[in-house]
């Protein structure tokens, strides 16, 4: 796997720095960072950005993303994967799980799927 993750804008803004501090080989960006979709971008556009840029989306949105993913796939599009979390996950657990996925996962393991963390 690539070790490239885009965090949803509703997650704490300090998480990317904390994750990369614990696992420097990861690339972790957040909605609203320079070079990624701005805050308030619609989920379908975020999925398109993740597809084009090869990022897995990390989100706490379990309600609407399954429908958005189904629509995205129905249009013949793809994503590297969506990882759902609960906001109460300890940051060290999230960071370690993301590093494990990047180090042990194979390309395509999460393509077009929604998976839940922690592992």
Q: pTM to 2 decimals?
A: 0.94
Are 16 and 29 in contact, with CB atoms under 8 Å apart?
A: yes
CATH classification of the domain holding 23: 3.40.50
Alpha-carbon distance values, 43 to 70, 104, 111 (Å): 12, 28, 17
The parent domain of residue 55 ranges over 4-116
pLDDT tens sequence across 37-54: 999 999 999 999 999 999
Task: Using DSSP, state whether 83 is helix, strand or coil.
Answer: strand
Count up the domains in the chain and report the number.
Answer: 1
pLDDT tens sequence across 46-104: 999 999 999 999 999 888 999 999 999 999 999 999 999 998 999 999 999 999 999 98
| Alpha carbon distance 47, 62 (integer Å) | 14
């Amino acid at each position: 796997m690539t070790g490239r993750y885009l965090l949803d804008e509703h997650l704490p803004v300090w998480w990317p720095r904390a994750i990369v501090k614990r696992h420097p080989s990861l690339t972790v960006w957040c909605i609203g960072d320079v070079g990624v979709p701005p805050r308030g971008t619609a989920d379908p556009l975020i999925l398109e950005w993740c597809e084009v840029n090869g990022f897995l989306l990390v989100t706490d949105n379990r309600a609407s993303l399954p429908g958005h993913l189904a629509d995205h796939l129905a249009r013949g599009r793809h994503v590297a994967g969506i990882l759902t979390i609960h906001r109460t996950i300890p940051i060290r657990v999230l960071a370690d799980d993301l590093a494990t996925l990047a180090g042990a996962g194979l390309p395509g393991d999460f393509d077009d799927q929604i998976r839940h963390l922690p592992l």
